[in-house]
Amino acid sequence: MKTFITKPAEVERQWFIVDAQGQTLGRLASRIATVLRGKHKPGFSPSVDCGDYVIVINAEKIHVTGRRMDQKVYYRHSGYPGGLTEITLREQLEKFPTRPVELAVKGMLPKNKLGRKMLKKLKVYVGEAHPHQAQQPVPMEL
């Protein structure tokens, strides 16, 4: 038997919608990363972007366990000496409610051009409204 490799032209993409309300951040992110990568499909190829689109609604209502709201810290650097900035998960949710979900999923994707291409298929929104009704997204079971 020959090994089947999916070609980029053969990939059929679906749109899934996920309600993040009450979901644990890490478990939600790992399931989303699996769908973005295409590992849930039988024709998965690691060198081809064969994943689907994922819409996340209610991103501001995620849940984390323990004291992570105050203990989990996100870092960024300006590039200048002494330019390291820290922000906790609680502050991140207040200022940029979609960013914790985006960063959690980004950390679970490949760190290369293919991973950046996969991340563009993730759409995260605050609240119930999203502009993708025309794509007829299917609710994703978690």
**Residue burial 41-64, b: 16+ Cβ < 10 Å; e: rest:** beeebeebbbbbbbbbbbbbebeb
What are the E-state strand segments in 20-125?
53-57, 73-77, 84-88, 122-124
1: confidence class by pLDDT, cuts 50, 70, 90:
confident
Interval 94-107 mean pLDDT: 97
pLDDT of residue 4: 84
The identity of residue 110, as a single letter, is P
Q: How confident is the model at residue 41 (pLDDT cuts 50, 70, 90)?
A: very high
pLDDT at 81 over 90: yes
Q: How many CB atoms lie within 10 A of CB 109?
A: 20
What pLDDT sits at residue 2? 87
Q: How confident is the model at residue 129 (pLDDT cuts 50, 70, 90)?
A: very high
Mean of all residue pLDDT scores within the chain: 96
Given a contact cutoff of 8 angstroms between Cβ atoms, the answer to whether 94 and 100 are in contact is: no
Q: Decide if pLDDT at 35 tops 90.
A: yes
Q: How far is CA 107 from CA 29, 110, 127, in A?
A: 9, 8, 24
